[in-house]
Amino acid sequence: MADSVPLMRTFLAVAGAASFSGAAKTLGLSRAAVSSQIAQLEARLGVRLFRRTTRTVALTDEGTQYASRVGALLEQIDALDNEYATRAGDVTGPLTVEVPEFFGVRVLAARVPQFLERYPAVSLNLVLNEKVDDVAHADADILVRSSLPQAHHLKYRRLGGFRLIAAASPRYLAKQGEPRHPRELGQHTTIDYINSVSGQPFEWEFEPVRRGRSEPLVVAPKGRLTCNNSDACIEAAIAGFGIVTDVDFMLAPLFKRKLLVPVLTAWHSPEYPLFALWHPGRPVAPRITAFVDFLEQVAQADPPHE
Does the pLDDT value for residue 304 go beyond 50? Answer: no
Question: Reduced to 3 states, what is the DSSP secondary structure of residue 73?
Answer: helix
Other C-beta atoms within 10 Å of 55: how many? 5
pLDDT class of 281 with cuts at 50, 70, 90: low
- The 10 Å Cβ neighbour count of residue 101 is 16
pLDDT: is 204 or 195 the higher one?
204
Over 60: is that where the pLDDT of 109 sits? yes
Residue 37 gets which letter from DSSP?
Answer: H
pLDDT score at 305: 43
Helix (H, G, I), strand (E, B) or coil at 219: strand
Q: Rounded distance, CA 210 to CA 184, Å?
A: 20
At 84 the three-state DSSP class reads helix
CB-count burial class (<10 Å; 0-12, 13-18, 19+) for 257: exposed
Q: Which residues contact 210 (CB under 8 A, 6 or more apart)?
A: 266
Residues 219-237: what's their mean pLDDT?
89
Q: What are the tens digits of pLDDT across the range 18-33?
A: 888 888 877 778 888 8
Strand residues in the chain grouped as ranges (E): 50-52, 57-59, 93-99, 122-128, 142-145, 155-162, 164-168, 191-193, 204-208, 217-219, 225-227, 244-247, 261-263, 267-268, 272-278
Q: Interior CA angle at 133 toward 131 and 135, to 5°? A: 105
137-148 pLDDT per residue, tens: 467 889 998 877
pLDDT band at 87 (very low <50, low <70, confident <90, very high): low
* Contact call for residues 157 and 165 (beta carbons, < 8 A): no
Q: Read off the pLDDT band of 171 (50, 70, 90).
A: very high
Res. 164: pLDDT tops 90: yes
Per-residue pLDDT for 40 more than 70? yes
Beta bridge partners of 144: 276
Backbone φ/ψ region at 275: left (φ over 0), alpha (ψ -120 to 50), beta: beta
Q: Is the pLDDT of residue 89 over 80?
A: no
Please give the pLDDT value at position 294: 94
Q: What is the pLDDT of residue 117?
A: 94
Confidence at residue 212, expressed as pLDDT on a 0 to 100 scale: 61
Cα distance between the two ends of the chain: 55
- Chain centroid to Cα 247, Å, comes to 16
* Mean pLDDT of the 37-51 span: 91
* Mean pLDDT estimate for the chain: 84
**How confident is residue 286, by pLDDT bands cut at 50, 70 and 90?**
confident
Q: Which of 1-5, 182-186, 291-295 has the lowest mean pLDDT?
A: 1-5
Backbone angles phi, psi at 168, to 5 degrees: -155, 165
Q: Is 224 helix (H, G, I), strand (E, B) or coil?
A: coil
Residue 137 to residue 24: CA distance in whole angstroms: 10
pLDDT by residue (tens digit) across 91-107? 888 999 999 888 888 88
User: Which pLDDT score, from 0 to 100, does residue 136 have?
Assistant: 47
Quick check: 257 pLDDT over 50? Answer: yes
- 3-class DSSP state for residue 121? coil
In this structure, what is the dihedral angle of CA atoms 257, 260, 265, 269, given to the nearest 10 degrees? -110
